[in-house]
């Protein structure tokens, strides 16, 4: 199998921006992309062409929450690549890279807009569970690069570091055989 894949978060997807935690509950963060085969053997494992946060499977808004103060949705602004660097026991470790850029938009009456950018995030794919875990160590690899409307209720500030973590279940199931 070579072609499209899709994933949905199985745990809360979080963005920690200098202590302000933005949370998308399980089932509200979706990713889609392509893989070169059903058993990719990197380093190029695939491309993530679309990622959305705060939407239900049917496309309706199921907003994420910024520390319970305002609701938001978000989306990836450009495709990124998934590459492997090590493989052991059915687990491939690598990174998501290619100029990460996402836009956060307030909903339900909130006019907050923010952009989060970075160069890469660590990631791992586990064959047994078909799960892609993003940034399992929660290292700060991103930063808030722009904020509008009074710093989004004072929660986000341009220049502060941000760390994104999530776990996605992918379909169809893949069996990565090496980096």
In this prediction the pTM is 0.88
**pLDDT at 59 (0 to 100):** 63
Residue range 37-68, pLDDT digits in tens: 767 776 888 999 999 998 766 666 677 898 88
Residue the block writes with tokens 């920690």: 16
Confidence at residue 112, expressed as pLDDT on a 0 to 100 scale:
86
Rounded CA gap, 178 and 115, in Å? 34
- At 171, list the tokens: 């379909």
Q: What is the 3-state secondary structure (H, E, C) of 135-172?
A: CCCCCCCEEEEEECHHHHHHCCCCCCEEEEEEEEEEEC
């Amino acid at each position: 199998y070579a072609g499209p894949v899709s994933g949905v978060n199985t745990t809360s997807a979080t963005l920690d921006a200098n202590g302000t935690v933005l949370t998308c509950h399980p089932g509200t963060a979706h990713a889609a992309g392509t893989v070169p085969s059903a058993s990719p053997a990197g380093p190029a494992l695939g491309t993530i062409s679309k990622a959305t946060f705060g939407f239900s499977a049917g496309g309706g808004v199921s907003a994420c929450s910024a520390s319970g103060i305002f609701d938001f949705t978000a989306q990836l602004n450009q495709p990124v690549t998934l590459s492997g660097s090590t493989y052991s026991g059915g687990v491939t470790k690598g990174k998501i890279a290619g100029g990460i850029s996402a836009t956060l938009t307030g909903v339900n009456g909130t006019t907050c807009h923010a952009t989060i950018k970075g160069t890469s995030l660590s990631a791992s794919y586990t064959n047994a569970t078909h799960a892609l875990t993003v940034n399992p160590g929660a290292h700060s690899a991103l930063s808030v690069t722009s904020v509008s409307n009074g710093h989004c209720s004072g929660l986000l500030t341009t220049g502060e570091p941000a760390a994104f973590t999530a776990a996605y279940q992918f379909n169809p199931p893949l069996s990565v055989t090496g980096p």
